[in-house]
Structure 1
Amino acid sequence: MDVLDEIVLTGLTVFGRHGVYDHERENGQEFTIDLRLRMPLNDAAASDDVADTVHYGELAEKVAEVVAGEPVNLIETLAERIADVALTDPRVRSVTVTVHKPHAPIPLTFSDVAVTVHRARQRSAEEASR
């Protein structure tokens, strides 16, 4: 059985210009990102070397670049782009990304709007047979 541990990063807050309305693109707003990476961490634990794991500081910077970068209409699209970034590291087997948009243009009282996507790496036949 494949053991999957987790690295969790929550509350990464980045200014972006995402949304379907012009004023969202013009004024921008803060988005908060939560990530949950599933991967084996036994090599990193044994070596005590950051090279054997996902450097969560570097990952946070890459995610921040996506959020602060090219605007998209939907936070669903933004979540998908962030998941793609997390899965570029071949050790990451799956990722859960939540994008929070607490200042969404809703004319009612609310605390948060969020979208969560779950994405997994497609395993090759060789990896599945191990």
Structure 2
Amino acid sequence: MDETAMAFEMPHVRAAATQTGQLLDRISVRDYTRTVEIGAFRSERGVTQRIRFNVVMEVSHHTAAQDDDVDKVVSYDSITEAIEAEFASERVNLLETLAERVAARCLADPRAVRVFVRIEKLDRIPGALGVEIARARVAGAPRLR
């Protein structure tokens, strides 16, 4: 798949195409939609708009499947909780800021290796506009608590 086509693929397709080295497990939350106040422009102040999240988190291997033990998996809730925590902390202007913060919260889990975050505004244009980032754990980097 060429680079331009890859840029518009869903995060799970991008994750598979950009995989290097050992294969990792992935969990994802797709089409998670919230209505919030976000935006840098005056016209976006004091009004809400819908935004959609698609997040893929690559995680280190675990034995949850063999043991059928829910306590050993990275929960899908960790992704939605990362999103909700950012809305609870403060209003942000930029999708880029929100994406970085959600990625950092996901990577705070020691089992997380890499995360893909796509956030789209659904009410600004006929269609969707947004940002997508990929972030990986950096050895020795401080973890968000």
User: TM bucket by the smaller chain?
Assistant: 0.7 to 0.9
1:9-48 to 2 correspondences below 5 Å: 9-48=29-68
Whether the 8 Å CA contact 1:72–1:78 is kept in 2: the answer is yes
Question: What residue in structure 2 maps to residue 120 of structure 1?
Answer: 136
Q: 1:117 to 1:73 in 2, by over 3 A?
A: same
Which residue is 2:97 aligned to? 77
1:68, distance to aligned residue in structure 2 (A): 5.5
Q: Find the counterpart in structure 1 of residue 10 from structure 2.
A: none
Q: Which runs of 5+ in 1 are unaligned?
A: 125-130
Residue of structure 2 equivalent to 1:94 = 114
Q: For residue 56 of structure 1, what is the aligned residue in structure 2? A: 76
CA offset at residue 123 of structure 1? 3.3
Tell me the TM-score normalized by structure 2: 0.73
SS at match of 2:100: helix
Residue 79 of structure 1 contacts residue 99 of structure 1 at CA under 8 Å; is this kept in 2? yes
Residue 42 of structure 1: how far off its partner (Å):
3.8
The CA deviation at 1:58 is 4.2
**Partner AA of 2:43 in structure 1:** H
Distance 1:46 1:79 in 2: 33
Is residue 3 from structure 1 mapped to residue 23 from structure 2 by the alignment? yes
Q: Percent identity?
A: 33
Aligned with 1:89: secondary structure?
Answer: coil
Using the size of structure 1 for normalisation, the TM-score is: 0.81
1:70-124 CA distances to partner (integer Å, 9 max, x unpaired)? 12221111110110111110101000000010112x5xxx310020010000136
Residues 36-70 of structure 1 show CA distances to partners (whole Å, capped at 9, x for unaligned) of 00113442212222221111124313312314541
The one-letter code sitting in structure 1 at the alignment partner of 2:136 is: A
Is the 1:98–1:114 contact (alpha carbons within 8 Å) kept by the matching residues of 2?
yes
After TM superposition, which residue ranges in structure 1, 4 or more long, deviate above 6 angstroms? Answer: none
The CA RMSD over aligned residues, in Å, is 1.9
